[in-house]
Structure 1
Amino acid sequence: MACDCSAEITDVSQKKLLQTLLAINGLFFVLELMVGWYAESIGLIADSLDMLADAIVYGIAIYAVSRANSIKNNAALLSGYFQLMLATLIGLEVIRRFLDGSEPISELMMIMGFFSLLANAYCLKLIFKHRNGEVHMRASWIFSANDVLANLGVIIGGALVFWLNSRLPDLIIGSVITLLILWGAFHIIRDAKSEIKALNINSETCCSSNSNDH
């Protein structure tokens, strides 16, 4: 029996990459959440929770590596639903802060946003070659790309808070991040369902072909 060494090498490479992404996102989730809470910035808090979601997504993807395509598809689908739930929670927090009020510290928003941008840009570089790969890796690419956009939004929001002396830009950025997460979630759910449907069709075709042969 021939050894599928190339597949094994690819699986090991994917797992190491996802573990690196998981570690970076997990670390910056903690840092950004603490800074965001102290700075009273919903933009930073939303971005930190986005990183938490990504860390969990990468953990799910690590589980899916080297497993059957059906498991990879379901892992991507689960990731999408998790992101959908998170976006809902962040949206509710944006509404709460809009009603209760907050005093975001613009300097901390920009500094933390900048360091998070560097971290996520590095993650994006690492996963770039997998952007058209299997569905669980495509999901990881989309989430990493969204993170970079969210970080840029936090930096811009911090600058606007400072310039306008208003909390409104922070609330807007928190809302934009929510929409970004929603877009990523719907995209991955649609992609995963498409893969699951195609896999089922192929399976039925194969079974039908085998029955006819007999």
Structure 2
Amino acid sequence: MGKNCCGPVEDVEANNDPLWRRILWIALILNAVMFSVEIVAGLAADSRALQADALDFLGDAANYAISLCVAGMALAWRACAAIAKAATMLAFGLWVLGSAIWGFFVGASPDAGTMGIIGTVALAVNLAVAAMLFRFRTGDANMRSVWICSRNDAIGNVAVLGAALGVFGTGRAWPDLVVAAIMASLAIWGSIEVFGQARGELRSA
């Protein structure tokens, strides 16, 4: 497989890379802090997009913790961890999609100002994490799952900012709900990518 041309030995060495571990620790702390900030802001602003992004930060913090635990283990263990993380990505996507659909029926009144401010901070954090992880984007399924999470987060934050502008311009909640649905789709698609690569690694292992 082109993405794993270096083979299991080199992948183990990459997962033991001190820089990789250091970046994961930084990413874990940043994501845990942003979850706390964004869940409070999302509830206060009645924004499902912010709440969805907050849960994404929580899921990513857990994913980084898992990656740190299995770094240096055999390929099969790392692939199993990647499958577990893909499952959490899928569960997150389905939950957010359900929440967005529910919002269309029960109504919502998100605050555009809070969405814009918190969305900007979240985007800055996710861009910084994605930039740090960029060099590891073509590693095994475990490394790739971390990169995909960070990439999707940055895209999701841009969408949250777009939702804030939409809510501000229209005075309606639908931009917030549409963005929440888009973020759900990103999570679901990302989980499919990771599932596919991890299954291939399990077969090869």
Which letter does structure 1 place at the counterpart of 2:160? V
- Tell me what 2:13 maps to: 7
Which letter does structure 1 place at the counterpart of 2:126? N
- Tell me what 1:144 maps to: 150
- Tell me what 1:71 maps to: 77
- Tell me what 1:212 maps to: none
- Give deviations 1:68-121, integer Å, cap 9, x for gaps: 111111111110011111111112211222211110000111111000000000
Tell me if structure 2 keeps the 8 A contact 1:109–1:158.
Answer: yes
Matching of residues 1-214 of structure 1 within 5 Å: 7=13, 10-199=16-205
Distance 1:87 1:134 in 2: 23
Which letter does structure 2 place at the counterpart of 1:50? D
The normalised TM-score by structure 2 is: 0.91
Cα shift at 1:9? 9.1
For structure 1, list consecutive stretches of 5 or more residues without a partner in the other structure. Answer: 200-214
Tell me if structure 2 keeps the 8 A contact 1:146–1:181.
Answer: yes
- Give deviations 1:9-47, integer Å, cap 9, x for gaps: 943322221111111111101111110110000111111
Distance 2:126 2:95 in 1: 22
What secondary structure does 2:17 align onto? Answer: helix
- Give deviations 1:113-163, integer Å, cap 9, x for gaps: 000000000001110100011221111001100000000000000001101
Query: Which protein shows a greater Rg?
Result: 1
Q: 1:26 to 1:169 in 2, by over 3 A?
A: same
Tell me if structure 2 keeps the 8 A contact 1:154–1:173.
Answer: yes
Q: 1:42 to 1:9 in 2, by over 3 A?
A: closer
What secondary structure does 1:132 align onto? Answer: coil
Cα shift at 1:177? 0.4
Tell me if structure 2 keeps the 8 A contact 1:14–1:65.
Answer: no
Q: 1:198 to 1:67 in 2, by over 3 A?
A: same
Identity, % of aligned pairs? Answer: 28
Distance 1:15 1:148 in 2: 21
How many residues are aligned here? 195
Which letter does structure 2 place at the counterpart of 1:74? C
For structure 2, list consecutive stretches of 5 or more residues without a partner in the other structure. Answer: 1-9
